[in-house]
Amino acid sequence: MHIIKVTLLIFLTPLMLHSLDYSNKQEVKAFIKKMHKKYNYNEAYLKKLFSHVRKNTRVPSKSTTKKALKTKSISYPKGEWDIYARLHLENNQTQLGANFMHKYHKELQRAYQEYGVPAEYITAIIGIESYYGKNRGRYYVFDQLTHLAFDGGKRQKFYRHELQEFLRLCYREQLEPRAIKGSASGAIGMAQFMPSNYKSLAVDFDKDGKIRLSTPLDAIGSIANYFKKNGWRKDEPVSTRVSYEGDRFYGLKTGYSYRYHRRDLKNIRPREYFPYNKKVMLIKLKKEKYDELWYGAHNFYVITRYNHSSYYAMAVHQLAQRIKKSYLAQYNKKEKATKQRLCMAPTYLENINGTWKINRL
């Protein structure tokens, strides 16, 4: 706690003119008392922390000047899925994902061995959640959660719990609460975990004694652990597109809450081989001129535990498949070629310091 107290003073000084005092609110006083009684937090420290809550919780932009950009008038499809897919699957996501998989190939393979989650799905989550670490959040988490918890919003109880867990996280990991940046809802790091998920789901994957989801290795291990704890089944498929009659799909309920035996789905067939005999979900993607229909397997449902949206899970699945295809096309051939050259190279035995070793010409 001493480290946090010292750094707190550094952060508070320039912020006093742009902050609000929450420490005199009855709800905040009760929150501070609870933190003291239940978790032995220093009341004076917490009171000082809540005395200077930023009015503006957004992190200042590094660039102070905006360049006028010339934009071309382009007509894009306007269906629900068309818009969602443009937001999450474009902007160079696939290439950056393939690069990320190549850079952290060994760590992603270790995560697969330990948790059973394929590299491309872990990578896709990091791409969608934080653009491979380039966008880890534009809000100061402590201040944002304080506003959400005590300013009369609809989910105050939820955000007070997240604020509590955030402060406990800062204490465990010896972090300065006012310095941490995250999303508008308080999610943190490359994996964008809510604070309440840290203790049970985040892991120290790089074995340095600290859990930092702002680092690639801990993010990789934590996402894999998150999926595993929510029931991910190793080597089972996730989803596949299916054919049906017509342009719009009606008649059967769609979404991850409804499951069907494949034999009961008349005139609905996978467009490619789909080795999965358990019940499936029907996932409908509303495009401008027609509906795409997909089977969702159990692992599709697991992805929705990360974000309770069928569109989100489908974006993760489709991005994962694109990343895998791009990775295999760019890197797998090079790696195989390198191994093949090494295997074909002539060899000879050489005695080095009393030890016989194989060397290549």
Residue count of the chain: 361
Alpha-carbon distance of 154 to 166, in angstroms, equals 20
Alpha-carbon distance of 297 to 237, in angstroms, equals 7
Cβ neighbours of 313 (radius 10 Å): 25
For 83-103, letters b (16+ CB in 10 Å) and e give bbbeebbeeebbebbbbbbee
Nearest CA-CA partner of 85 in 321, 324, 316: 316
Classified as helix, coil or strand, 259 is strand
β-pairing, 181-182 vs 53-54, is unpaired
Nearest CA-CA partner of 133 in 228, 227, 230, 218: 218
Contacts of 42 by beta carbon, 8 Å cutoff, 6+ apart: 1, 36
Alpha-carbon distance of 241 to 24, in angstroms, equals 56
Between the alpha carbon of residue 311 and those of residues 25, 189, 242, 281, 286, the distances in Å are: 40, 22, 16, 13, 10
Contacts of 240 by beta carbon, 8 Å cutoff, 6+ apart: 270, 271, 272, 274, 294, 295
Tell me the two tokens of residue 196: 């309440």
Q: Is 129 annotated as catalytic?
A: yes
Alpha-carbon distance of 286 to 16, in angstroms, equals 49
**Annotated catalytic residue, options 80, 107, 120, 129:** 129
Classified as helix, coil or strand, 182 is strand
Kindly state the helix (H) or strand (E) to which residue 307 belongs, with its residue range: none
Positions marked active-site: 129
